[in-house]
Amino acid sequence: MFKNVFGSGFLVRIAHVILTWVITLILFLHDTDLRKHEENGRLVQPVLFVLLVLVSVLLYFAVSLMDPGFILNDDNGLQFTLGTTEEQQDMIPPPTSKSLRQRRCGHCLLQQPMRSKHCQTCQHCVRRYDHHCPWIENCVGERNHRWFVLYLAVQLLVLLWGLHMAWTGFSAADSWQAWLRSNGVLLAAAAAVALLSLTVLLLLGSHLYLVSLNTTTWEFMSRHRISYLRHCGADENPFDRGAARNLWGFFCAPGGSAVVWEQVYFREGSDPV
């Protein structure tokens, strides 16, 4: 289920953890509300903040080390032969029927289910491929996508809370030079947190939007190059079942089992199995 923690992303993960705890330490060392509550013996807020930071770090490692849905062999139990029945042949325009057949990956030579893609960085095909994220040094795919979105939500909460705490720690001074000397480190930390907050906010918003449409980043960005989407209209998505059902299926469907997207694609109104 999980990849080797000492793989190619080891330095990226260590850098993320160090940055997280360094900024947390800065917030406690300066005269912020976190430090004031700690000094006054009111530990609820400081403890909750540290626990939330810890949860965000654990989620980060879970998402970065989790198998995103690597296709490691030809799974005959999930094969869905296209174009074999008269009904399915009628549903596909003749010029595109050939291109919609399952094909073997030119890199790993395994048969690719619909919505999968070979990742050049991970050197594996990934089910329901979304994108390869350099932040976690892992692909985001069918098995870890919901955890990635949950991680973004928790991380955004931590960052916004940290930004508010940093704001409470700035102290007044007689001149700009004196103010920068006393607040320079906290200002740098606040600037980093603000930049990260904006980045995570944009990422979370875009992923929730795409999830509500039941599409992926790869499908959204490369629609014109994907065989099973070429013949669809500009606003047509064969996997869209309405925002409510899309969100429910993404967040609440049982995890661990691969979805046969060919059945969703060809049988409108049917549930994935």
Q: Please give the positions annotated as active site.
A: 133
Give the torsion through C-alpha atoms of 3, 4, 9, 13, to 10 deg: 90
Burial (CB count <10 Å: 0-12, 13-18, 19+), residue 77: exposed
Let me know if 12 is exposed, middle or buried by CB neighbors in 10 A (0-12, 13-18, 19+): middle
| Residue entry with tokens 């260590």 | 14
| CA torsion through residues 54, 56, 57, 59, sign | positive
Two structure tokens written together for 202: 């944009």
What distances in angstroms separate CA 25 from CA 36, 46, 164, 169, one per listed residue?
Answer: 14, 11, 15, 13
For 94, residues 6+ apart whose C-beta sits below 8 A from its C-beta are none
3-state helix, strand, coil in the chain (%, to 5): 55, 5, 35
> In the structure encoding, which two tokens stand for residue 82, read together?
């296209």
What amino acid occupies position 36? Answer: K
Q: Which amino acid is at 15?
A: A
